[in-house]
């Protein structure tokens, strides 16, 4: 008997709390916000089983991370991620922390 192939990929929606505290200590002071955005992208692609190139970050989430400047990023962020049937993963800010 042949294996059943997974042809239909359903839309998946999840809420996450992404820890960004490591982005406070790993890069230099002038690279923290960019590192935090890359951390969100990696976190979402790992947990939603998609490619990092397919992750689209909403401008509101970008502005929330950059709100206090490049050096003072939030320690965590609440997000909502939606994976569509074509593989695109959309990441939105759920609430401000």
Confirm or reject CATH 3.10.440.10 for domain 12-95, answering yes or no: yes
Q: Record the pTM.
A: 0.85
More confident residue, 97 or 68: 68
Q: What whole-number distance in Å separates Cα of residue 92 and Cα of residue 69?
A: 20
How large is the angle between the packed helices 59-66 and 32-48, nearest 10 degrees? 140
Using DSSP, state whether 47 is helix, strand or coil: helix
Sequence spans of domains, the chain: 12-95
pLDDT at 10: 77
- Strands in 76-83's sheet, in edge-to-edge order, are 12-19, 76-83, 89-95, 55-57
pLDDT digits 0-9 by tens, 71-94 = 999 999 999 999 999 999 999 999
Q: What is the pLDDT of residues 19-70, one digit of tens each?
A: 999 998 999 999 999 999 999 999 999 999 999 999 999 999 999 999 999 9
Per-residue confidence (pLDDT) for residue 9, from 0 to 100: 60
């Amino acid at each position: 008997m042949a294996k059943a192939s997974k042809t239909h990929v359903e839309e998946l929606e999840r809420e996450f709390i992404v820890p960004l505290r490591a982005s406070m200590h790993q890069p230099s002071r002038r690279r923290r916000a960019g590192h935090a955005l890359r951390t969100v992208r990696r976190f979402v692609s790992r947990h939603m089983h998609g490619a990092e190139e397919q992750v689209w970050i909403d401008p509101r989430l970008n502005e929330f991370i950059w709100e206090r400047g490049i050096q003072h990023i939030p320690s965590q962020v609440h997000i909502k991620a939606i994976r569509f049937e074509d593989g695109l993963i959309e990441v939105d800010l759920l609430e401000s922390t």
